[in-house]
Structure 1
Amino acid sequence: MATCPPLWIAVHLPLLQLEVFVTPLFAQQETQVSVILHQGRVTSMSESADQAGIRLNMRAGGVQMLCADADYYQRDHNKEKLALQAVATALLQYSPQVCLAENDCILVDISASLSLFGGIRALRKRVQESMRILGYTATTGIAPVARAAWLLAKQASRKLPRGQHVFKLQRLSQRLDRLPVKLLTAAEPLTEFLQGIACYSLRDLRQLPRPGLQRRCGKALLIELDQAYGEQAEVHEWYLAAPEFKVKMELPDRIEQAESLLIFARSLLAQLLGWLAAQQLAVTHIHMELLHERGRQAIPPTMFDLQLAQACWQESHLLSLFKEKLSQLKLHSAVIGMLLEVKQTILREAQSYTLFPEPGGQANEHKRLLELLVARLGEDNVLQPAPQADHRADIANHWISVIKKTPPPCPASTLADYALRPSWLLPQPLALDIHEHRPFYGSELKLVSPAERIEAGWWHEQIQTRDYYIAVDKRHVRYWIYRERANDPDSEEPVWFLHGIFG
C-alpha cells in the first residue's frame, strides 16, 4: 500500500510570553502598551509598545521614560508551559502526531490528515482558526521536513498569517537557502562570529568547510542544519493528552454578562475536541463551573451540567449547546475564571470505510431519520415490530410506534417457528376466488409448501382452525394464503383467503 508523502505544519507563537497575560480576544487590551520583563529586561511587547519606541532587551527604566503608563508583567514560564500544552491538545484534533518544539513552536505531522480535512489549504485555515479561538497570535510553516517547517514558521511575520510553505522536497533547498542563519537555535550564541565571517544565510553556512565549522561552532550547529535540509533524521517525542479532561482557565477581566463567556468557552471547547479525537471518545456528560471572587469575599462557583441524550464529539453540536445554556444563565456575580470537566464518555462509533457508505448507516443518523419521519407522518404511522408469542398470525404479528419503548424480544425458539411467515400481513384477510378448484388472485396460485396447520384460540372466542400455504402466481410473487377448515363441506362460504405477501 502506498504511503503518504511526509508533510509537517509548524505553529509558532511569537507573542506567547505576552499573550498568557494579555489576550487578543479583548480588543481594548490590544491598544494598551504592555511589556514582558525577565531579569529586568524586555523580552516581549505589544504592537503599541513597539510603536512607542520600546525595543527588545531594553531595561525597565528605559520603558518608563518612553511610556509612563505602560503595563509591566514578569515572565511566567509555568503559564507558558500550560499554554503550549493547551495548544497541543487542541491540535490533536488534526493529527495524533503532535510534538512540542523549542522557541514556543509546535510541530504536527499532517501527512495522513489531508484527505480527511479537504486538502492542505483547508487544513491550514482550520489550524489558524483554532489558534484564533484559543486567543494566540500564530504563524505557520509547512514543509516535508519538520525542522524546515519550524524554520519557516519562525521566519513568517505575524502580519502574514498564511506563513511560508514548501510542499515539495525538490524545492526545499532553494527556499531554505534564503533564510537567515540566526533562526537556528545553535547559531544564536554565535551570531557575532558568523556575521564577522560574512555568514548571513543558510546558504552561506552550507558553503563553509564542515571540519573547521565543527571545531569552531560545535557539532550541534551542523546537526540542526542537516535536519532542516532533510539530510539527517529527527527523533520526536509525541505529546500525549491527559487521561482525564479537566481544564481551568483564568479570564483576563471580570465578565458580568453570561453571553460574553462564549468567547472563552470556545477556547475550552477547542481543547475538548482535540482531547476527544486523541482518545477516540464521544462525550455524554459535561460539567462546567464559573468561578467568582476568591479570598475573604469568596462566592461559590456557578455550576451547570450538560447531559447529552446522544454521545457527541462534533464542534457544531457542542457549541450550540453551550450557546443555549449560557444564553439562559443569569450571573449573580462577575466571573473571573472557568472550569470545564468531562464526567462521562463512551467509545466513539467507528466511521464507515466503505467506498460508498450508506446514508443513515450510523445509529445517530438512524435516530434522526426516525424523528423526522414521526414529525412528518405521525407517531401512529411509523412503527417497529413487537412480535408476540402466539401461534395465530394476526396476534403474533404485532407492531407499535417507534417512540415507544421496545418490548423484550420473544425467545429465539418461538421465532424460529415463524421463519416462513411474511412480515407484511393484510389488515383483514382477503377472500379469494376459486377457478378450477384452485385459488385465484390475478392468476392461478400454485401451492409450493406443505400445510402449516394452526388450531388455537379455543380458550376464548378467537378460535382459528386454518391450514396455511405459500403460493406463487405467474409473476413469481409469493403469497401467504390459508384455507378454512369448515365443519360443513357443502357450505358456499369462501374457503381460501389471502393473509400476507412476502417481500
Structure 2
Amino acid sequence: MLWSALLLLPPPSDTAPSPIEPATLQAVAIWALQFTPRVALADDAVLMEVAGSVRLFGGRRALRDRVWGEGQELGVGQLAWAPNSLAALALARAGRENGLRGLDALLDALPMMVLSAVRPHALTLAHIGCRTLGDVRALPRGGIARRFDKTLLHALDQAYGLAPEGHTWVNLPETFEARLELVFRVDDASALLFGARRLLLQMCGWLAARHSGVTAFTLHWSHDVMRSREAGEGGQLTVGTAEPMRDVEHLCRLLAEHLAKVELAAPVGDLRLTADTVHRLTESSASLLPDNAVHQGETLHLVLERLAARLGPERVLRPVLTEDHRQEWMCRWQAAPLALPKKPVPGPELPQPTFVLPLPLRLAMRGNRPIYQGELQLLAGPQRVEGGWWDRVASSDSGEQVEETTRHVARDYWVALSALAGVLWVFQTRLDEAPAWYLHGHFA
C-alpha cells in the first residue's frame, strides 16, 4: 500500500499557533477525494491511500507534483509518503517526504513527539532518556504496556507496519458549499479573486471526484460588521458557463471578468462559494475507433454495416476479444456487422502491449538476462499463461498425411524496459528443454 499525508500548517504568528480548524481539514479532504476514494482525517493532517491511483495520474512523481502544487494553495504545508498512514503522518510532522525505503531506520531517527500517542507521556519518557521513536521502541514492551497504556504500544506497531490500521473514510457530499474567512478586509472586488481561487480549487476537486462539471456557480460575500446600514449584509455574483466545466484556470478567468464590473458597497470579511448547476461529464474515449463515434449523424456501427454491404462482409473486419489468455489468440477478427459479446471479457493481470509481433522474436542472452537493444530490466511480472491443449489444428508436411497438433503454450510474461527500445512485452518459455526468452510486443 502507499499512503500520503498532507499536513496543514497554521499561519505564522507571534503568539502560540492556533490549531487547524475542522472546516479547513474537511475542505482539503473533499478536494483530495479526486485522487482516491480513500481519504481520512487525523489530527492536523489529511491522509490518502493512493496505491490504486498512481498509474491513473501518470506515476508517483506526476501524482506527487500535482498534489503538492494544488495543495499548497489550500494551506498544505508538508507532504510525505510511506507504506502506512501513521508513518506518513510522522514523517510529514518531521519534515521528511520520502518514506518508501528504509522506513524503520527513518522512523527510529524521528523525534518521539511526531506520534500523537506519545504526547500524553512525553514528560515521563523524557525523564527516562527517550528522545526519538527509536528510544521509545527500544524500551521493554511489557514495561510500556504496564507503565503507560496500550494506545502507545499499538501506535508504535502501526507506524512500523506491525499492526493493521483502521480509518473512517471521508464521504463526498452531494452538494458543494465552501466558506473562507479573509485574512484582511477587502474593499476592491477584483481583490476577491485571491480568496475565491482557493474556493474554486476546492470546488473543482469536488467536481472531479463526482466526474462532473459545473455550468453555474455563485460567489457570496459578507460585508464587515462595521459597515454602514445602507451597505447591507453582503452581495453575490453568479457565473455561468456554456458547457459543463471544472478547469480551475478557466473558471478563475471568467470570475475575474465578472468581478471587474462589481463595486463593493462595503469592505468584505468572508466569502462563500456554491455550485448551483452540476452536470455529469461524459468522458471521451481514447480508442482509435470508439463505438460511439459519430460520422455525419451515424454511429460507427451503422457506418460499418453500410461499408460491409457495399464492399462485402469479408473486407470489413473488426477485432473482437475472446476469453483466451494466449496473446496470439486473445483477439480474433470477425465481420464487422456481427454482434459483440455482451459480457465483458475479464482482463489480464498485467497491462497488455499496444503492438504485438506476428511471431515472437527469440532474444539473445547475456548471462541470465535477455537482451534487446540493451540489457532488459524486468519491471512487472510474472504473469503465467498456460493453455491451448484443446486447440487442435491440422498440419501436413508432405501434403498427403494430415496430422493434428495442439497450440499449447506455457509462458511467464513480463513487462520489461530497454534503454533504447522502451517498454516491452517479453516472455520466458517453461516446457522447453532449454527455456528461452522471446519478445512479443511493444508498448506505445
Q: Tell me what 1:147 maps to.
A: 86
Q: Tell me what 2:57 maps to.
A: 117
The structural deviation recorded for 1:224 is 0.2
The structural deviation recorded for 1:361 is 9.7
Structure 2 unaligned spans of 5+: 299-307, 312-444
- CA deviations 1:432-460 (Å, max 9, x no partner) are xxxxxxxxxxxxxxxxxxxxxxxxxxxxx
Q: Tell me what 2:5 maps to.
A: 10
- CA deviations 1:279-334 (Å, max 9, x no partner) are 22221221222332457624253322222221112223322222322234343433
> What SS does the aligned partner of 2:21 have?
helix
Find the partner of 1:235 among 166, 172, 179.
Answer: 166
Counterpart contact for 2:35–2:209, Cα < 8 Å = no
> What SS does the aligned partner of 1:282 have?
strand
Could you tell me how far apart the structure 2 residues matched to 1:241 and 1:201 are? 38
Is residue 343 of structure 1 aligned with residue 283 of structure 2?
no
Could you tell me how far apart the structure 2 residues matched to 1:90 and 1:293 are? 28
Could you tell me how far apart the structure 1 residues matched to 2:69 and 2:289 are? 30
Find the partner of 1:81 among 15, 19, 22.
Answer: 22
Counterpart contact for 2:177–2:273, Cα < 8 Å = yes
Could you tell me how far apart the structure 1 residues matched to 2:289 and 2:161 are? 44
Q: 1:305 to 1:192 in 2, by over 3 A?
A: closer
Could you tell me how far apart the structure 2 residues matched to 1:362 and 1:335 are? 49
Counterpart contact for 1:8–1:142, Cα < 8 Å = yes
Counterpart contact for 2:212–2:244, Cα < 8 Å = no
Aligned CA RMSD, in angstroms, stands at 3.2
The structural deviation recorded for 1:123 is 2.5
Could you tell me how far apart the structure 2 residues matched to 1:385 and 1:237 are? 49
Question: Residue 51 of structure 2 aligns to which amino acid in structure 1?
Answer: S
Q: 1:385 to 1:165 in 2, by over 3 A?
A: closer
Q: 1:385 to 1:229 in 2, by over 3 A?
A: closer
> What SS does the aligned partner of 2:277 have?
strand
* Match runs of 1:58-457 below 5 Å: 80-102=21-43, 104-134=44-74, 136=75, 138-156=77-95, 163-168=96-101, 171-294=102-225, 297=229, 298-299=231-232, 301-352=234-285, 357-358=287-288
Could you tell me how far apart the structure 2 residues matched to 1:258 and 1:92 are? 31
Count of aligned pairs between the two proteins: 303
* Match runs of 1:473-484 below 5 Å: none
Could you tell me how far apart the structure 2 residues matched to 1:236 and 1:252 are? 33
TM-score by length of 1: 0.54
Counterpart contact for 1:11–1:138, Cα < 8 Å = yes
Counterpart contact for 1:292–1:336, Cα < 8 Å = yes
Q: 1:421 to 1:14 in 2, by over 3 A?
A: closer
The structural deviation recorded for 1:192 is 2.6
Q: Which has the larger radius of gyration?
A: 1
Structure 1 unaligned spans of 5+: 1-5, 20-29, 36-42, 45-74, 157-162, 367-382, 387-418, 423-503
TM-score by length of 2: 0.61
Q: 1:317 to 1:293 in 2, by over 3 A?
A: same
Could you tell me how far apart the structure 2 residues matched to 1:276 and 1:198 are? 51
Q: Tell me what 1:471 maps to.
A: none
Counterpart contact for 1:291–1:335, Cα < 8 Å = yes
- CA deviations 1:244-287 (Å, max 9, x no partner) are 11222222222122222111111101110121122222212212
> What SS does the aligned partner of 1:286 have?
strand
Question: Residue 126 of structure 1 aligns to which amino acid in structure 2?
Answer: R
Counterpart contact for 2:5–2:89, Cα < 8 Å = yes
Could you tell me how far apart the structure 2 residues matched to 1:300 and 1:196 are? 56
* Match runs of 1:33-52 below 5 Å: 34-35=14-15, 43-44=16-17
- CA deviations 1:345-380 (Å, max 9, x no partner) are 12222353x5xx3499999xx9xxxxxxxxxxxxxx
Q: 1:347 to 1:34 in 2, by over 3 A?
A: same
Could you tell me how far apart the structure 1 residues matched to 2:289 and 2:278 are? 25
Q: Tell me what 2:355 maps to.
A: none
Q: 1:361 to 1:126 in 2, by over 3 A?
A: farther
The structural deviation recorded for 1:421 is 10
Structure (1/2) with the larger strand percentage: 2
Q: Name which of structure 1's ranges 301-310 and 82-91 shifts more when overlaid on structure 2.
A: 301-310
Counterpart contact for 1:90–1:130, Cα < 8 Å = no
Q: 1:283 to 1:361 in 2, by over 3 A?
A: farther
